[in-house]
Amino acid sequence: MGLSGRRAALGSAVLDRFQHPAQVIVGGFGLAVLVGAGLLALPVATESGESAGPLTALFTATSAVCVTGLVVVDTGEHWSVFGEVVILLLIQAGGLGIMTLATLFAVLVSGKLGLRARLLAQAETKTLHGAGMRRVVRNVVLFSLVSEVIVAVVLSLRFAFGYGEPVGRAVYMGVFHAVSAFNNAGFGLWPDSLSRFVADPWVCLPVAAAVIVGGLGFPVVFELARSWRRPRRWSVLTRITLGTTAALLLVGTVVLASAERDNPHTLGPLSDSAKLLAGFFAAVMARTAGFNSIDISQMRPESWLFTDILMFIGGGSAGTAGGIKVTTFGLLAFVMWAELRGEDRVNVGHRRLAGPVQRQALTIALMGVGLVAVCTLVLLSMVPHSLDRVLFEVVSAFGTVGLSTGITGQLPDAGQVVIALLMFIGRIGPLTLFSALALRERTRRYELPEERPIVG
């Protein structure tokens, strides 16, 4: 066999291997978790010089790789600088891995389309060939690093000149929180997260901006960079992502600021401007970031429930955010609106949504609801905490958010295992499920007789 024949055989083998994207995603993230857990289990990773224990190391590594932020020990006090750097690298690997894998599998899915659809997609994205894919991955990495550097510079300057931190310490804290924010991880170096900066816009706004940009998703960000002056040319993905994100941020800010405005344990003591800032920050962080500038455990039940909704929806597709994604939520809203109007087609702007896309969105949403319900029931049988606190914890883990009412560290070992598995499933689940559904799409060559059962 000649050189060209061997290359062709190798390429065929690689393509055959990538026929099962779930194996690649689960294997890659699982390996990263195990390596991270092994490093965090070393005595050098803790401040005390004693091993953190396998379960604590595994839980923390899972939370970092899945960019969640739920912890069973205080990050800044329990882990040494070595341990914190390991966590930071796991967050970076998890965030970049999510975006690049999402982009790669988008191309893999497009390869299963018909010739006409593939040509249209290639003309639109210019990323369906080898050189284009290398450019996309390079741009993902550069965009992530540049965004993190900008936020890190702002935070470092604020910590150094606004709070008198030594330059080295200020830079370290700025870099750590910038990486954690852009990747929607929510790991912080203070026991109260960012509560001490609740009224400081120079800390809260850069962190919130990093969370929003990282959570929009790479395809949306770069489409905006190319054609931000021509909104009529925006794809359905960009339209839904931006519209739904803006609506959720606005509604979230109003609802949370209103519900907590006179709560003496959260927003009550703050000025009006600080209340607005804290309400906006809380709405942004519920989009899967995990930082908090107010005490989550002291929030009112109605605020917990609304935060549950925001956490479950999550952020944009092919970004660092979790949840079922705003795209899924927005698509289902358009489907429902079309049904209420009695229309047999679902249109978004000047585009018609394909039937398979609607079914995929419904499947992801319902499977998310089922997973949250089952895990909530399991945890309720293990712990003495109330339903609203347990549900909050479960939704936070599924949406890879990291917000907590304070019960994570109180969970028994079995409960921590459940939460760790839920974080892992919540991180890889939507991407794996979407890839599997799209790649299994096939055309039936016959139609069965139609019947309309009673619905409702």
pLDDT averaged over the chain? 83
121 pLDDT more than 50: no
Output the six-digit token pair for 244.
Answer: 């739904």
Q: Phi, psi at residue 282, to the nearest 5°?
A: -65, -40
Residue 94 lies in a domain: yes
Residue 5 lies in a domain: no
Domain count within the chain: 1
pLDDT-derived band at 232, boundaries 50, 70, 90 = confident
Tell me whether strands 347-348 and 351-352 are parallel, antiparallel or unpaired. Answer: antiparallel
Q: Which of 11-20, 26-35, 262-271, 314-323 has the highest mean pLDDT?
A: 262-271
Residue 269 lies in a domain: yes
- The pLDDT of residue 251 is 96
Residue 2 lies in a domain: no
Whole-number Å distance between alpha carbons of 389 and 407: 8
Least confident of 100-114, 353-367, 390-404: 100-114
Residue 290 lies in a domain: yes
437 pLDDT more than 60: no
Residue 246 lies in a domain: yes
Cβ distance 396 to 291 under 8 Å?
Answer: no
| pLDDT 10s digits, 364-409 | 899 899 999 999 999 999 999 999 999 999 999 999 999 999 898 8
Residue 346 lies in a domain: yes
| pLDDT 10s digits, 37-85 | 999 999 999 999 999 989 999 999 999 998 898 999 999 999 999 999 9
| pLDDT 10s digits, 130-189 | 445 667 777 788 888 999 999 999 999 999 999 999 999 999 999 999 999 999 998 999
- The pLDDT of residue 436 is 54
- The pLDDT of residue 221 is 85
- The pLDDT of residue 356 is 78
* Beta partners for residue 351, in sequence order: 348
Residue 7 lies in a domain: no
Instruction: Compute the Cα dihedral for 337, 340, 346, 348 and give only its sign.
Output: negative
| pLDDT 10s digits, 250-260 | 999 999 999 99
Output the six-digit token pair for 363.
Answer: 């499947």
- The pLDDT of residue 392 is 96
Phi-psi region of 80 (alpha: psi -120 to 50; beta: other; left: phi over 0): beta
Mean pLDDT for 187-213 is: 94
Cβ distance 332 to 362 under 8 Å?
Answer: yes
Cβ distance 435 to 108 under 8 Å?
Answer: yes
- The pLDDT of residue 217 is 81
Whole-number Å distance between alpha carbons of 89 and 82: 11
By residue range, what is the domain housing residue 341? 21-119+127-439
Output the six-digit token pair for 385.
Answer: 């905490």
